[in-house]
Structure 1
Amino acid sequence: MSIIAATALILISAILSVSFPLATYTFTLASFGLSHVLTELHYVDNRFRQRLENSLRFSISQLLLLIICFRSLQVFGLIPNWVSIPLELSCVIGLVIIVIPVLVKKDWRLGILGTVLCASIIVGLCWSATLTLLLFAILHNLTPIGFIAEKLRGKQRNVALLACGVVFILVPLVILSGLPTQFLSSIGFINLNASFFPVGELEFNLGVYVPPQLQNQAIAIPAFSAAVFLQSMHYVVVIGVLPKWENGYQSRIANSFFTWLVVFLSTLLFVSFTISFINSRAVYGIIAAVHAWVEIPILLLALVIPENSTMNTESLSKEQLIN
């Protein structure tokens, strides 16, 4: 993608996120939500699976299965949110805890990083589990920065991270300031409640990205718009960039099969969204939770285990882990 095309895509996404935040949120989620989840999971598996020993993969898988169970029980109304969310976050804490020993063997400072993250989630769980989950939903949109930093090297990485700073930090902050909303409103190019799906007005959907304490404040709509823009850029990188970096396909047929499978499943879910957006979003959230939470331990382990290496914490010496 050329610089001009990328810049145009970013500007258009920013304008649509501000002018038609609800329509942009619902359409991008229904159209690209599942495809981005499957693509991201495929990338993570293809790039990181061989670096982890079997016992660690098993532990991560077990915790993810628990998350699926808790989220499913909540979606189907078998347990309330105030029960499912703390249980889910407890599993996330477990995902961090199991990688801390590996981080410590690499560098005690990385061990501190993992411990601080673990402690932060515990504090968030005790303070407000719902708000903590909401915060992670927003921060998850920044994970492409981690994948880019892990993949690229040298000047190429520096340039890419600078671009990420503009796209994932600077532009959302400008939107959050409320100035774009005021400007587009002044020229009449704004419709906050427009949507392709019957989801009600924007005020009934603010809770997706805006905590209850802020929903009646002036910052609520700019905050929602900024989060929608981040979501859109997250989709762009995951669907448009990550697949180009994947290696290890056994054949073009395997790659083609995965692509068509993603298209087929995404089409089915899109139809489901047109029938019942709220229910479809809840079901989508089950698999979305898996792809979001698995990236926390994976990105932490990426600090320890370089590309083209296999981790074996029982046999590797300290020098090997450092290298």
Structure 2
Amino acid sequence: MLALRAPTGLAVLGLAVFGLLHNVLELRYVAGRFAAVLAGPLLRLLLVLVTGIVLCRLLPPSRLSQSAEILLAYGLLAAACRYGLRGRPWLLAAAGVGLVGAGAASLAFPAYHFVVLAHLHNVVPLLFLAEWSRRLARGRAAFLALQSGWVLLVPVLLLSGLLDGLLSQRPGGWTDRLAAVYTPPGWLTPQVGLRFLAVFAFLQTMHYVVWVWFLPRYAPEAAERFDARVPGLRGGRAWVLGLGAGALLALLFAVDYARGRSVYAALASYHAYLEFPVLLTLVLGPGAGQRSGEGADRVRTGRKEVKV
């Protein structure tokens, strides 16, 4: 209902309050759970590429900076494919052809590229939840159906127009600007823009629910492995870092929202783009992801301990 009635406020305030906190907690989970993937030369290469993307986002927006970011992003995907598809040359070659075609399309239509990227990032938790659900002794199908409902069915319902009677009809100002960011340019009309903004506000909020509440609560072993790997952020220090950085970002938003949004977009590149090699592992090479979880033979879910 908030996404329908106040999509602009939900999107802006959610980002200001939970944006950097969820960045920190997601990186903690991914680096702990998938340590076998994000390690060694691959991690160093990914960090170099993502840092290049951060620099592109800190530059004044231009076609050149957008093209550079797109090329770096596809370079990162190529590195992830090379890692995830080792020993499968034909599949690696097919992935390479697909990346070249997709990269050419992104360079030709950069506005569409960034709209798709914004919504795709909010859908990513479905794959991490599916991976987490392997530990469930029963009820996995119902759990996945529920997650698919909010990730896929609710956005389809919002975009269909069936709920337009509940949708805020007050375009203008920030609403128009945000709607333009999250709507494919060829589809942008006042009504369709509001629908896409509502979809983004809803998925972003659920995205925060997953990373700030669900996985920290129900996958504590990932945080424990991260603590062993990065003792400087052990225990509650990651929360302190996320909350403190979030407070500074919220202050910057209050003073200059556009500048705050640019700073956040740059910093968020690390957690957004480091997902890709992990996602490729989940989709095409689950063995590496499973190996990264070794050492936690049992995890606690609710009152019971279950084998992983």
Fold-level similarity (TM above 0.5): yes
Q: TM-score, normalised by structure 1?
A: 0.78
* Unmatched segments (≥5 aa) in structure 2: 294-308
> 1:68 maps to which residue?
54
Match of 1:241, SS state, is: helix
Equivalent pair of 1:22/1:192 in contact (CA under 8 Å):
no
Partners of 2:200 and 2:163 in 1: CA distance? 14
1:231 aligned to 200, 204, 218, which one?
204
2:44 aligned to 58, 64, 68, which one?
58
Shift in alpha-carbon separation, 1:84–1:209, aligned structure 2, 3 A: same
2:77 aligned to 91, 96, 101, which one?
96
> 1:158 maps to which residue?
141
> 2:297 maps to which residue?
none
- Corresponding letter in the other structure for 2:79: I
Shift in alpha-carbon separation, 1:112–1:238, aligned structure 2, 3 A: farther
Residues 106-149 of structure 1 show CA distances to partners (whole Å, capped at 9, x for unaligned) of: 54675367436523531322321221122111111011011112
Partners of 2:76 and 2:140 in 1: CA distance? 28
Equivalent pair of 2:34/2:289 in contact (CA under 8 Å):
no
Q: Tell me by how many angstroms 1:175 deviates.
A: 1.0
Q: Tell me by how many angstroms 1:216 deviates.
A: 2.3
**Mapped pair 1:278 → 2:261:** no
Equivalent pair of 1:172/1:226 in contact (CA under 8 Å):
yes
Shift in alpha-carbon separation, 1:308–1:224, aligned structure 2, 3 A: same
Partners of 2:232 and 2:139 in 1: CA distance? 28
User: How many residues end up aligned between the 2 structures?
Assistant: 281
- More moved, 225-234 vs 253-262: 253-262
Q: Tell me by how many angstroms 1:191 deviates.
A: 6.0
Shift in alpha-carbon separation, 1:309–1:24, aligned structure 2, 3 A: closer
Residues 224-278 of structure 1 show CA distances to partners (whole Å, capped at 9, x for unaligned) of: 1112111111111111112231232348982112112211111121122111111
Partners of 2:50 and 2:103 in 1: CA distance? 18
Shift in alpha-carbon separation, 1:166–1:159, aligned structure 2, 3 A: same
Partners of 1:294 and 1:117 in 2: CA distance? 20
Partners of 1:166 and 1:178 in 2: CA distance? 17
Residues 29-57 of structure 1 show CA distances to partners (whole Å, capped at 9, x for unaligned) of: 11111111121122122222334551111
* Unmatched segments (≥5 aa) in structure 1: 1-14, 194-198, 311-323
Equivalent pair of 1:19/1:181 in contact (CA under 8 Å):
no
Q: Tell me by how many angstroms 1:287 deviates.
A: 1.1
> 1:318 maps to which residue?
none
Write the mapping of 1:86-125 to structure 2, written as runs, cut at 5 A.
86-105=67-86, 107=88, 111=92, 114-115=95-96, 118-125=99-106
1:205 aligned to 178, 187, 195, which one?
178
Shift in alpha-carbon separation, 1:120–1:174, aligned structure 2, 3 A: farther
Write the mapping of 1:274-313 to structure 2, written as runs, cut at 5 A.
274-302=254-282, 303-304=284-285, 305-309=288-292
RMSD value, Cα: 2.6
> 1:257 maps to which residue?
237
Residues 277-318 of structure 1 show CA distances to partners (whole Å, capped at 9, x for unaligned) of: 1111111110112211121122113442132349xxxxxxxx
> 2:120 maps to which residue?
139
Partners of 1:109 and 1:158 in 2: CA distance? 33
Q: TM-score, normalised by structure 2?
A: 0.82
1:42 aligned to 14, 28, 42, which one?
28
Equivalent pair of 1:96/1:114 in contact (CA under 8 Å):
no
